[in-house]
Structure 1
């Protein structure tokens, strides 16, 4: 979870990242940390998966209240996803999420003019995530973008 300061206040970026490709699969930006927003992103990801079996999915997170929300946990159980949470709130236990959040904030958000409101912040985040997923090579992906890695892996027999 990362936040974006706007002239109207703080907004929170709720994201789901693929641990294999490092692609940001789904995201949303809201003016609160309420668990229903985190659930909304999970529901978008489930809908996008369509008929794909998600039983091999592991949802790793810190122990934030939005990830411990009963409805959120129930939804993960409904798709038979494994639930993994950090043990003692160490950032290193959730290294992929921390890395993605760090890249988004330090490489782009800190160098971007403060958005006026949620709508403007959403447009900025959309451009950043598009660049991150489609044009930014990742060393951890052998200098492929997350989308390129996903495409190459999909074609491996």
Structure 2
């Protein structure tokens, strides 16, 4: 909640490294928010192959526009079970961390621009400096770099 109404944030996360590859902040929880986050992820990753896109059953993720875009990108689609937060645990974790470390900690928020700037700052910090236990106590960018160094050797 902001002084000018609600805003929503969507993230696209690489499960391998936990790297946030796409995100978007909008005043509407329609398909555009997840489509924009997906487009940013596609731009950041180029043309990834063999990708499985997992989401919950939100109407945005099941919309015709979104599922068609996933198909165009060559992604396999995976959708979680109804009402099972464990089925989408990584997304729930990222959302929970974002809310705890940004939204609840720094509010109240004036509006979308303020949330968007805070999200940009947090995503950069998360990807490049936040230590994550599940990937060897290192930041996502470092984990990816290490992986690519090992596979190129």
- TM exceeding 0.5: yes
Residue of structure 2 in register with 1:143 after alignment: 137
Structure 1 CA distance for aligned equivalents of residues 68 and 49 of structure 2: 14
* Structure 1, unpaired ranges of 5+: none
The within-5 A match list for 1:90-105 is 90-105=84-99
Q: How does 1:31-50 map to 2 (within 5 A)?
A: 31-50=27-46
**Moved segments of 4+, more than 4 Å:** none
Structure number having the greater strand percentage: 1
Aligned residues: 151
User: In the aligned structure 2, how far is the partner of 1:116 from the partner of 1:14?
Assistant: 19
What corresponds to 2:116 in structure 1? 122
Q: State the Cα RMSD in Å.
A: 1.2
Query: 3-state DSSP class of the match of 2:78?
Result: strand
* Cα separation, 1, equivalents of 2:84 and 2:2: 28
- Larger helix proportion, structure 1 or 2? 2
1:27 to 12, 20, 23: 23
Partners of 1:100 and 1:137 lie apart in 2 by: 13
Q: Secondary structure at the match of 1:156?
A: helix
Q: TM-score, normalised by structure 1?
A: 0.91
TM-score normalized by the length of structure 2: 0.93
1:28 is displaced (CA, Å) by 0.8
Cα distance in 2 for residues equivalent to 1:62 and 1:136: 25
Measured against aligned partners, the alpha-carbon deviations of 1:77-119 in whole angstroms (never above 9, x if no partner) come to 1122110001222110001101111111123321113221111
Q: Give the gaps of 5 or more residues in structure 2.
A: none
Partner of 1:106: 100
Mapped to 2, the partners of 1:107 and 1:47 lie a distance apart of: 27
